[in-house]
A and B are shown apart, each in its own frame.
Chain A
Amino acid sequence: MLTRKRNQSIIIADEIEITVLDIRGDQVRLGVKAPRTVSVHRREVYDEIQEANREASASPRAALEALKALPKR
């Protein structure tokens, strides 16, 4: 656990830098520098996408066949 003030940063694995840009009340604005191969997202959005991906990949073959079996309009 690290404590930072406005304009201070932490650096992770040599290439990811997180800076506290601003603090207003209970909101913290963060700046993130990371290589292109590293995706950066708000946790709750990321979790939702991750969960949707996992669900979608659970039995894709059955899904494909079920969709194929639907009557085409």
Chain B
Amino acid sequence: MAQPASKMHGPPITIQVEPFGEIEVPEQAIFNFPAGLPGFPSAHRFAFVRHQEYLPFIWMVALDEPDLAFVVVEPAAFFPKYKPRLSPEDADALGLSSHVRAVLYCIVTVPRDPREATVNLRAPVTLNLSRHLGRQAILASQDYQTREPLFGARPQDDSKTDAGRPGAENASQGRRELVAGADAETQPEHHHR
């Protein structure tokens, strides 16, 4: 009998994640960041929680560091022309190629007035779904800002961001799901070279 491609069959982790309460995080929903994040070099494992009430904002939570979390968005929802070119080092570190594409999430910074929220387009959190790998890629191009105003553009219709999500885990949770990796060839979400 053929074995599945993925050997990740460890038990799911249960974490308390406010404001969502207790969440079970299966292995496929854990992304490994070997290099951590700039400023957080020891934060190696993250999960991404999408909840209907909070969309288009997604919760990126560290699994090993208490209280470390970020609000992220899919950049295409706000910036349809955002097509960053990853450096060869970042593409290589993530195992990306013309066949394996990246999923991007950009970190949001919210000042006192949330209408002045900014998003980091200069350093997208970049995921390889099939390898459960992540990295914050710092783009060489100076075309994109670390603090790009988020509400200069309007978000797209929320229903579009949910269509075709790979690996929608926890379907029984209804309004909440974890972004999960795929065992087989990943569904391409964005193409970046």
Q: Footprint of B on A, CB under 8 Å? A: 36-41, 45-46, 48-57, 60-70, 72-73
Cross-chain contact A61 with B18 (CB below 8 angstroms)? yes
Chain B interface residue bracket vs A? 35 or more
Cross-chain contact A60 with B136 (CB below 8 angstroms)? no
Considering the chains assembled together, what is the distance between the CA atoms of A70 and B114 in angstroms? 8
Given contacts A52-B123, A60-B70, contact A66 B138 (CB under 8 A): no
Decide if the interface of chain B is mainly helix, strand, loop or mixed.
loop
- Number of A-B residue pairs, CB cutoff 8 Å, is 100
**Which of A48, A64, A70, A73 has the most chain B CB within a 10 Å cutoff?**
A64
Decide if the interface of chain A is mainly helix, strand, loop or mixed.
helix
Residue of B at shortest CB range from A42? Answer: B138
Considering the chains assembled together, what is the distance between the CA atoms of A56 and B138 in angstroms? 16
Cross-chain contact B35 with A64 (CB below 8 angstroms)? no
Taking the complex as formed, is B53 at the interface, i.e. its CB lies under 8 A from any CB of chain A?
A: yes
Residue of A at shortest CB range from B44? Answer: A37
Cross-chain contact B114 with A67 (CB below 8 angstroms)? yes
Considering the chains assembled together, what is the distance between the CA atoms of A22 and B113 in angstroms? 48
Cross-chain contact B154 with A73 (CB below 8 angstroms)? yes
Partner of B39, one of A50, A64, A68: A50
- Expressed in whole angstroms, the minimum distance between the Cβ of B21 and any Cβ of chain A is 13
Cross-chain contact B107 with A68 (CB below 8 angstroms)? no
- Expressed in whole angstroms, the minimum distance between the Cβ of A33 and any Cβ of chain B is 11
Residues of A within 8 A of B135 (CB): 39
Residues of A within 8 A of B54 (CB): 64, 67-68
- Expressed in whole angstroms, the minimum distance between the Cβ of A12 and any Cβ of chain B is 16
Contact digits for B38-60, partner A, Cβ 8 Å, 1 yes 0 no: 11100000000000011001010
Cross-chain contact A40 with B114 (CB below 8 angstroms)? no
Cross-chain contact B122 with A49 (CB below 8 angstroms)? yes
Considering the chains assembled together, what is the distance between the CA atoms of A17 and B71 in angstroms? 36
Residue of A at shortest CB range from B158? Answer: A72
8 contacts between A and B (CB under 8 A): A49-B39, A53-B37, A56-B70, A57-B68, A57-B69, A61-B19, A62-B110, A67-B54
